[in-house]
């Protein structure tokens, strides 16, 4: 192997320059996962809020189904035979709430509760029954009025015929 000599014969000051403190004006910019992390954390928060609210809806549906099943059992127990005494209710109901997350206008959240209306179906059924009864009454009244009007017209025609027959 050949030895290659430095023709410039200038000393390399690399080691010395590395040891001397120098100010760095341009450093390597670190990767910025913070913004992505913030977005993903916000997305996680939104997803968790939706998950809690979805579970609350499912829990409400399950509670209402429990009530429907209990009502069915109560009905079946009460009327198997006419002479039997009515059984006591198989289930009692108190005020029930489920957790619920609300979003405020400033995009923050409030963890609160939402009341489940256990007797809404019964109220709606009673209201519908009342409306149907009123409609039926109105129909019966209007049918009766039409019959009366028809009779009145028929009676008037007969009276006119009698008058005309008597005049001739």
pLDDT of residue 122: 86
64 has a pLDDT exceeding 90? yes
Residues 6+ apart with CB under 8 A from 119: 93
Structure tokens at 165: 């027959």
Q: In which residue are the tokens 């008597």 written? A: 166
Q: Is the pLDDT higher at 120 or at 101?
A: 101
Q: What is the pLDDT averaged over residues 113-138?
A: 89
Tokens linked to 66: 């429990």
Whether 156 has a pLDDT exceeding 60, the answer reads: yes
The pLDDT value given to residue 81: 60
Q: Report which of 78, 74, 72 is spatially closest to residue 89, judged by C-alpha positions.
A: 74
Of 16-25, 30-39, 89-98, least confident by mean pLDDT is 16-25
SS3 content of the chain, % helix, strand, coil (to 5): 60, 10, 30
- Reply yes or no on whether the pLDDT at 30 is more than 70: no
Where exactly are the structural domains of the chain? 37-118, 119-168
Mean pLDDT of the chain: 80
């Amino acid at each position: 192997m050949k030895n290659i000599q430095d023709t410039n014969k200038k000393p390399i000051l690399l080691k010395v320059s590395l040891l001397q403190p120098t100010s760095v004006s341009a450093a390597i910019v670190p990767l910025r996962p913070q913004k992505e992390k913030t977005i993903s954390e916000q997305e996680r928060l939104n997803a968790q809020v939706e998950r809690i609210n979805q579970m609350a809806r499912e829990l409400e549906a399950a509670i209402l189904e429990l009530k429907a099943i209990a009502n069915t059992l109560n009905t079946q127990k009460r009327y198997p035979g006419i002479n039997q005494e009515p059984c006591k209710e198989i289930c009692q109901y108190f005020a029930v709430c489920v957790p619920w997350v609300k979003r405020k206008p400033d995009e923050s959240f409030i963890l609160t509760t939402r009341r489940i209306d256990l007797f809404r179906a019964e109220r709606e059924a009673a209201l519908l029954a009342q409306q149907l009864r009123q409609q039926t009454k109105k129909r019966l009244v209007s049918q009766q009025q039409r019959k009366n009007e028809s009779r009145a017209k028929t009676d008037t025609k007969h009276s006119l015929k009698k008058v005309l027959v008597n005049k001739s």
